[in-house]
Amino acid sequence: MALKPVAAYALPAAGELPAARVSWRLQAARAALLVHDMQGYFLAVYQAHAAPLAPMLARLKTVLDRCRLLDIPVFYTAQRGNQDRRDRGLQADWWGPGMQAVPAHEAIVDVLAPAAGDQALAKHRYSAFQRSNLAELLRARGRDQLLITGVYAHLGILATAAEAFQRDIQPFVAADAVADLGRAEHDQALAWIAASCGVPMATAAVLEALQ
């Protein structure tokens, strides 16, 4: 049930991304950024200086910097440690008790630490929209596009993209600024999103769109 170490794998290149079924275009005036679950507990499964984590962090940081430069709203999700079993719900059956209430588990990785003006949301389920006011915060800021980054692609990233779509918020996934528990799961998530609800994009394309 507990998370297991992830073998190093190469992030997908731009030419390997599945084509989305729609022609949506990411726009700075409509977008918000989601930095999803980039906490020590979830990142401990990776080798710190190898792919996917090292290049993924570098690319996510460039996206984060660009969004802050353009005053694009930035949201973070983070779980809390020592969750009550009744609050954790069915996740405990799949993943065990989860993280402890210690900085090594709960803290966002330093290179991506939230800045003044960023919005932090407590995470309770796979989707960032569940038991949070993310949808209301996006609406209040006039944003109907969500650029999703972080971990893990076939779990929270996919679930958040699917729920954004169902709320008429266009989801975009920075495909090489997310990571997963393996390349097969990573590719599976991108393929499902492209076929069903959103647009996978390479970081280079994200930066080009957010001028």
- 3-class SS string, the chain: CCCCCCCCCCCCCHHHCCCCCCCCCCCCCCEEEEEECCEHHHHCCCCCCCCCHHHHHHHHHHHHHHHHHCCCCEEEEECCCCCCHHHHCCHHHHHCCCCCCCHHHHCECHHHCCCCCCEEEECCCCCCCCCCCHHHHHHHCCCCEEEEEEECHHHHHHHHHHHHHHCCCEEEEEEEEEECCCHHHHHHHHHHHHHHCCEEECHHHHHHHCC
Q: Does the annotation count 37 as an active-site position? A: yes
Q: Are residues 77 and 118 in contact, defined by beta-carbon separation less than 8 angstroms?
A: no
Selecting among 37, 176, 180, 187, the annotated active-site residue is 37
Q: Nearest 5 degrees, angle CA 38-CA 136-CA 175? A: 35
Q: Encoding tokens for residue 209? A: 């769109």
Enzyme catalytic residues = 37
